[in-house]
Amino acid sequence: MDQALEGMYAKPGMNLYKIVDLSTVWVEAEVFEHQLPWVRSGQGAVVRFSAPPGSTFYGKIPYLYPAFNRTTRTARVSIELANPGRSLRADMYAEVTFEVPAARNVIAVPENAVIHSGERNIVVLDQGGGRFQVREVTLGRNGNRLWEVSAGVNEGERVVISSQFLIDSESNLREAIRKMLATRQADSRNSRDSRD
């Protein structure tokens, strides 16, 4: 309803009612800048609403807005949904998951194997025989607790995942690796001495 009230006098040109077809609704989602390369027009999306509880809807992306929000560094994406039963209303909140095609023939490492030093992303490779190598990597997509690695690690190389480093600078990284190597060498010396 726009301006219509019982007993009111209607003048020519007044909007008495607004009629909206709610059989189809549009959800606007915000996508972070680094996620945008994997979102396209025509792509599917799963939309979950908290009310009514357990409501899950499937839709498609008809439109990606061309500008970023300067504050949040996100872009808006429009998702078209069928609204059977007219249960969806304006200004409801939703959680959106985009159906991104799975990457094939890529190298991936566990999330906890990647050390984010601030300027670079680093992994520690097990060279065997108590030797380790620090390698800078270029990361791609992230999902299912894995990082896609587009450069820096080759197939078959062993990545250290059992140790987690708390590193906030390059000097701490070097010190952590020096200590790790020293501990490893001391352990191997002790095991040799105990055998003798």
> 107-157: per-residue pLDDT in tens?
777 777 777 776 777 777 777 777 777 778 887 776 667 777 778 777 888
What is the identity of the amino acid at 136?
E
Alpha carbon of residue 48 to chain centroid: 17
Share of the chain above pLDDT 70, in %: 77
Count of CB atoms situated within 10 Å of the CB of 118: 9
Residue 170 pLDDT > 70: no
Closest residue by Cα to residue 115 from 173, 188, 186: 173
* Percent of the chain whose predicted confidence (pLDDT) is above 90: 2
pLDDT of residue 144: 67
pLDDT of 37 reads: 77
Give the residue-averaged pLDDT of 15-24.
79
Q: Examine the pLDDT at 165 and tell me if it is beyond 50.
A: no
Fold of 24-98: Elongation Factor Tu (Ef-tu); domain 3 (2.40.30)
Q: Determine which of 28-32, 120-124, 149-153, 183-187 has the lowest per-residue pLDDT on average.
A: 183-187
Q: What is the pLDDT of residue 113?
A: 75
> Which has more confidence, 144 or 14?
14
- Per-residue pLDDT tens digits for 76-95: 999 998 888 888 888 888 88
Structure tokens at 92: 């409801």
Answer whether 0.75 is exceeded by the pTM: no
* Nearby residues of 152 by Cβ (< 8 Å), 6 or more positions away: 123, 135, 136, 137, 138
H or E, element range at 60: strand 55-69
| Averaged pLDDT score across all residues of the chain | 76
Q: Which architecture, in CATH terms, is 107-188?
A: Beta Barrel (2.40)
* pLDDT beyond 70 at 192: no
The whole-number pLDDT of residue 129 equals: 77
Of residues 24 and 164, the one with the higher pLDDT is 24
The full set of domain ranges for the chain reads 24-98, 107-188
pLDDT band at 180 (very low <50, low <70, confident <90, very high): low
pLDDT surpasses 60 at 18: yes
